[in-house]
Chain A
């Protein structure tokens, strides 16, 4: 079945470091991918919609200069947390739907997530 690979699974780094997270669709092309953030015991909050070949669409309250998204190919989207601070520590998850764009009959497939810890 369709698989989404997310890397790295865990990052621990110092405050001020920039961290890049990759999300790959392994056996399908995804023109749209979603990036979510999850706080402990909370639901997934959508951060942005990553669109292949164009700018990402950010949700209200998400700083686009802080969370840089690049979707340069149909199988790869990256999220870069720039100059990370302790309050950016969280669980970040990407998702993608197989087929072209987001179709009503296609399920969303999720990566395994990235646990980001900023010291």
Chain B
């Protein structure tokens, strides 16, 4: 059974810092990995999707990498802003076609 772990569970940083959020998974036989953002009491917003054949994806200040063999992905946030404050979730989709989620990293960026 796939297990997804996200570290750290919580992070508080001053505005402007570059951040790295980590996601690890136990079964490397995946189709894709997706990073989401969730604001309090809200649904999920997809940030980046990395196919199993890809190494990274970029969108604006966000960069996600994937190392399938080691079961790891990182989400890099450049020049963080208070508006980036949210919970960041990673989800891995494998042979069952059902996304398995980590518990998320709660990020606070203070001015």
Contact = CB atoms under 8 A, between A and B. Distances in A.
A102 B44 contact: no
B31 interface: yes
Interface of B is mostly: strand
Interface residues of A, number: 24
B25 interface: no
Q: What is the interface residue range for chain B against chain A?
A: 20 to 34
Contact of B51 (A6, A34, A105): A105
B98 A44 contact: no
Nearest to A102: B97
Given A104-B32, A107-B49, A108-B91, A113 B102 contact: no
A54 interface: no
B101 A43 contact: yes
Contact of A113 (B34, B42, B51): B42
Interface string B42-56: 111110010110000
Given A93-B44, A108-B46, A110-B46, A49 B98 contact: yes
Contacts of A95: 44, 99
A43 B46 contact: no
